[in-house]
Amino acid sequence: QGDPRPTRPQEQGTQARGREGSRLERAAQLEGARGGEHEDNVSRLRSSSLEIREKGSEILREQLDAAQKELKLKDKECERLSQIRDQLEQELEELTASLFEEAHRMVREANVKQATAEKQLKEAQGKSDVLQAEVSALKTMVLTSTPSSPNRRAHPQLLSPGTRSRGSSPHHGGGHARNKSASGALPLAPGGHSDLPSDLQPVREDKEMDSILYAEFLTWKNRPSLDRSSAFLVRIYREDIGPCLSFTRSELSQSVQSAVENNSLTIEPVAMSALSMVKANAIECGGPKKCALSGISRSCKHQIKLGDEESYYYISPSSRARITAVCNFFTYIRYIQQGLVRHDAEQMFWEVTRLRREMTVAKLGFYLTDQE
């Protein structure tokens, strides 16, 4: 009836509501604690992520710097190798060009040498043939002829005029090869007598050696040479060769003397069919009726050629005799120089003396002519 104390069911409801509130409060507290822990975890994760990112970025920067440095080194190395390659290519081009130039130069030199050798071979073969013929003739002359007992077959000019006119000896004017011609000077007849009229002929011709001339010859013979340094040749040039080859045309005379000394003068008969082939004018080369050396009008049956010149010069019989006399002298002293003469010194001296007399006689205008 009006009791203010709650009933038992009410108390139980109140207690239940209190417990539920406590539970909810604890759940809220627990949830708040969990939320704070989650936020802490997120903060820690974020800070860790930033640290990792910074460290990764630092590592990447270091690797990038190292790669850039390595790349720069590689670039420098490539540049150096490129320079070396360019230098090698330039050197290779220069070497190739120099090798080609050297090869072309060697080919040109080889062609020139081959042409020169072929030319020298032809000249040597021609000279060999001439020398063989000269040696054969000299052997025959040396073995069968001496100054005291000459071989008249080797020296047809020693035959008497009557014998020559009968044709028993070879023709004297059958052509002249270089420095091999028989002398055109006036020789002695057999027996040592000159070819003079009988009322002027001496009974006998004797001879006596000049000691000075013989001494000069012996000095020259010890060291034979064609140079004009010896007293022997100086005397002969002054007394014999110079006067014998002194013609009116002095310039041509000097050329003739040089050709005789060089063994390059050729004398040959004039071919009538070749008269129109003369390439120099008549004043320089003379003509069939005028001697190119003396300028005197004479019948010219021979002509001379000087070395490799293309021109021929007509010469008179007297000029021919003078030239061939000097040629014979040079031929003999060349044989002595080459060791082809086996006579003793005295015999050589008398042969030289005979050749000097031929030059003197030819200079005085005496010469032999062919008798038809």
Evaluate whether 192 touches 204 at the Cβ level (below 8 Å): yes
What pLDDT shows up at residue 284?
53
For the stretch 251-306, pLDDT in tens is: 999 999 999 999 999 998 887 545 444 444 444 565 678 899 998 888 888 999 99
Q: What is the pLDDT of residues 292-346, one digit of tens each?
A: 999 888 888 899 999 888 888 999 999 999 999 999 999 999 999 998 888 899 9
* E strand or H helix at 313: strand 312-315
d(C-alpha 297, C-alpha 214), whole Å: 41
Q: Are 293 and 319 in contact (CB under 8 A)?
A: yes
148 vs 253, higher pLDDT: 253
CA 322, CA 355: separation in Å to the nearest integer?
11
346 Cβ neighbours under 8 A, 6+ residues apart: 209, 214
pLDDT band at 175 (very low <50, low <70, confident <90, very high): very low
Tokens read off for 169: 């000896």
In the chain, the percentage of residues whose pLDDT exceeds 70 is: 73
Band of the pLDDT at 245, cuts 50, 70, 90? very high
Amino acid present at 331: T
Q: Can you tell me the mean pLDDT for 46-64?
A: 86
Spatial distance between the Cα atoms of 94 and 101, rounded to a whole number of angstroms: 10
Enter the pTM of the model.
0.48
CB atoms within 10 A of CB 70: 10
Q: Identify residue 26 by its one-letter amino acid code.
A: R
What integer pLDDT is reported at residue 42 of this predicted model? Answer: 78
Beta bridge partners of 188: 194
Residue 314's H or E segment, with its range, is strand 312-315
Average pLDDT over residues 67-90: 92
Check: CB of residue 156 under 8 Å from CB of residue 182: yes
Identify the CA nearest to 363 among candidates 188, 189, 243.
Answer: 243
- Nearest CA to 315 out of 120, 200, 184 is that of 184
